[in-house]
């Protein structure tokens, strides 16, 4: 396999020019870069998925949520039992399995890395244990394992997750495990990896996307990622079975949802989803054109050109399905280990995150009352912030202050406004895919997040440890340590 991380694709969302998402560091590029850019696995996918979500953050109105004042550090009573855990884990480093596959390929290598992180001041790690291809990094009786990547093969009896837990705990680090929930395949430079390619039942559950001409196609016929339709009961049951297996068998401190969403605004327009929408809406004759009358390509992305009469209800319907799954996932985790932290990651740009069917706000926040025309008056009921013990937002911009969402301060304050104190909020930076002005710019962003949220997630280990994967061309342990201290 080629060497660049598929997590580059966490980085793609904003346009240049008039749009508040400026410069080439697209937010879904940033979000999808948590899975790709400069990481040793997903580089080639940047062009595909960066473009795929480019408009995931495109707004349809000129409304910009005001920052709303100083962020608060208060934690509501419903998450107070988690406060001790997160007080002891204010600095978390994300470790993508594929990007760090050889770096974390033995217990000894893990021990050395965790010592460096502990000396730096990190207090916890997020271990990516299920990536976009759907392969897992632990001993599973359900899913296939990722054992070889980029020419390196881990020992057959090497349990990546168990060894990481053991070695991290020796260094005093808390351990969270994350899964890319509805991702079950990837076309990686022609290598078709994952169940959407190898299992006919999963192929039938893959998301159906609309093209600019209005045709509906399998996602794998159009895009690189083999994501499932989140509404499919069999897809939900499979992902919940993996979550239960992980939580039951490993002594982790928390579980993190990742990619618990739709691919983009063009998904999912399958017959199954449309039938479910008709039932939900109580209207038997709804067609795709009643949701989006016509589509267009903008900056390489398929996006609505003219929306239909049911567009806002369609957005609410999609978010309600994601809410239901998050609720089921929380129940699954808490039924096994009631005290385990249930967490999620999403991009910080709430005002356009509806493109991927996610409403991470509190149910007490009403975006329709804040002037967002895409939100129905009942869209607020799909907010899932109260279901989470801790929530990480991707603050993926080098711009520190200014109006709207596209600054670190705007994202922190905006998130605090829409979260309404429903969970413990951490900000995040993408070290390797953000066009920092200089090292001080990055350090200032870190300091702002640490000062104004409950903690910070640093994405990703590969950028800290390997100077060839960050713009400063040096290991960043000491620079980050200077901010943490």
CA nearest to 345, candidates 382, 392, 295 = 392
Q: Which domain holds residue 409?
A: 6-484
Q: How far is CA 263 from CA 218, 229, 270, 412, in A?
A: 12, 9, 13, 25
Q: Is the pLDDT of residue 354 over 70?
A: yes
Compute the C-alpha angle 55/61/65, nearest 5°.
95
User: Rounded to an integer, what distance in angstroms lies between the CA atom of residue 240 and that of residue 385?
Assistant: 19
Rg over alpha carbons for the chain, rounded to the nearest Å, is: 21
Count of CB atoms situated within 10 Å of the CB of 136: 23
Place of tokens 């990480």: 392
Residue 51, pLDDT > 90, answer no
Higher pLDDT, 12 or 163: 163
Q: Is the pLDDT of residue 41 over 70?
A: no
Q: What is the pLDDT of residues 433-463, one digit of tens each?
A: 999 999 999 999 999 999 999 999 999 999 9
Q: Residue 46: pLDDT above 50?
A: no
Average pLDDT value for residue range 391-416: 95
Look at residue 161 in the predicted model and tell me its pLDDT: 98
In a domain, 42, yes or no: yes
pLDDT at residue 403, as a whole number:
82
Give 157's contacts (C-beta < 8 A, 6+ positions apart).
none
Is residue 1, in this structure, part of any structural domain at all? Answer: no
Mean pLDDT of all residues in 33-38: 41
Q: How far apart are CA 372 and CA 377, in angstroms?
A: 10
pLDDT of residue 300: 87
CB contact set of 185 (below 8 Å; sequence gap of 6+): 132, 133, 134, 192, 193, 194, 195, 196, 197, 202, 206, 220, 225, 226, 227
Tell whether the model's pLDDT for residue 26 goes beyond 70.
no
pLDDT at 66 over 90: no
Output the domain CATH number for residue 279: 3.20.20.80
At 267, the pLDDT band (50, 70, 90 cuts) reads very high
Reported as type and span, the H/E element at residue 196 is helix 195-198
pLDDT at 271 over 80: yes
Query: What are the structure tokens assigned to 319, written together?
Result: 């978010």
Burial of 438 (0-12, 13-18, 19+ CB in 10 A): exposed
Average pLDDT over residues 70-93: 70
Total-model pTM:
0.88
**Chain segment 285-299, per-residue pLDDT in tens:** 999 999 999 999 998
Q: Are 417 and 65 in contact (CB under 8 A)?
A: yes
pLDDT over 50 at 49, yes or no: no
User: How far is it, in rounded angstroms, from Cα 466 to Cα 462?
Assistant: 6
Mean pLDDT, residues 129-147: 97
Confidence of residue 32 (pLDDT cuts 50, 70, 90): very low
Counted domains in the chain: 1
- Each residue of 185-209: pLDDT tens digit? 999 889 999 999 999 999 999 999 9
Residue percentage of the chain with pLDDT more than 70: 83
Angle at 171 between CA 106 and CA 392, to 5 degrees: 90
279 in a structural domain: yes
Is residue 91 predicted with pLDDT exceeding 60? yes
Q: Which two tokens stand for residue 219?
A: 């996602």
């Amino acid at each position: 396999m080629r060497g660049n991380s598929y997590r580059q694709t966490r980085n793609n969302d904003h346009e240049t020019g008039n749009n508040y998402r400026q410069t080439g560091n697209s937010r879904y590029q940033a979000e999808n870069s948590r899975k790709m850019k400069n990481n040793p696995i997903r580089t080639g996918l940047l062009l595909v998925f960066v473009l795929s979500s480019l408009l995931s953050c495109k707004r349809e109105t000129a409304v910009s949520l005001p920052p709303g004042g100083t962020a608060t550090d208060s934690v509501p009573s419903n998450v107070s039992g988690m406060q001790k855990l997160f007080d002891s884990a204010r600095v978390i480093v994300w470790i993508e399995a594929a990007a760090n596959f050889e770096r974390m390929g033995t217990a000894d290598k893990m021990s050395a890395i965790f010592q460096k992180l502990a000396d730096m001041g990190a207090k916890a790690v997020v271990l990516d244990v299920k990536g976009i291809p759907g392969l897992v990094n632990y001993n599973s009786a359900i899913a296939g394992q990722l054992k070889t990547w980029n020419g390196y093969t881990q020992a057959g009896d090497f349990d990546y997750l168990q060894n990481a837990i053991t070695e991290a705990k020796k260094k005093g680090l808390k351990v969270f495990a994350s899964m890319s929930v509805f991702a079950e395949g990837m076309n990686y430079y022609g290598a078709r990896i994952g169940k959407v390619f190898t299992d006919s039942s999963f192929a039938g559950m893959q998301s159906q996307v609309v093209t600019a001409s209005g045709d509906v196609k399998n996602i794998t016929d159009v895009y690189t990622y083999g994501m499932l339709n989140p509404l499919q009961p069999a897809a939900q049951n499979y992902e919940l079975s993996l979550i239960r297996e992980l939580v039951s068998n490993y002594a982790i401190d928390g579980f993190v949802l990742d990619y618990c969403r739709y691919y983009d605004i063009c998904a999912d327009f399958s017959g199954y989803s449309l039938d479910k929408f008709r039932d939900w809406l109580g209207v038997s004759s709804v067609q795709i054109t009643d949701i989006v009358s016509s589509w267009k390509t903008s900056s390489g992305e398929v996006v609505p050109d003219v929306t239909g009469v049911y567009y806002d209800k369609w957005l609410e319907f999609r978010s309600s399905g994601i809410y239901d799954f998050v609720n089921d996932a929380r129940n699954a985790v808490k039924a096994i280990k009631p005290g385990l932290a249930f967490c999620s990651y999403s991009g910080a740009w709430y005002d356009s995150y509806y493109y991927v069917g996610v409403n991470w706000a509190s149910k007490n926040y009403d975006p329709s009352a804040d002037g967002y025309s895409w939100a129905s008056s009942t869209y607020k009921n799909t907010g899932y912030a109260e279901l989470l013990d801790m929530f990480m937002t991707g603050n993926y911009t080098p711009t520190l202050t200014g109006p709207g969402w596209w600054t670190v301060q705007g994202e922190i304050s905006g998130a605090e406004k829409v979260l309404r104190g429903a969970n413990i909020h951490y900000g995040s930076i993408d070290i390797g895919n953000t066009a920092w002005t200089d090292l001080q710019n990055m350090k200032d962003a870190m300091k702002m997040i640490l000062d104004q949220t409950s903690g910070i997630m640093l994405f990703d280990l590969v950028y800290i440890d390997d100077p060839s994967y960050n713009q400063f061309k040096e290991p960043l342990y000491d620079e980050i340590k200077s901010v943490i201290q």
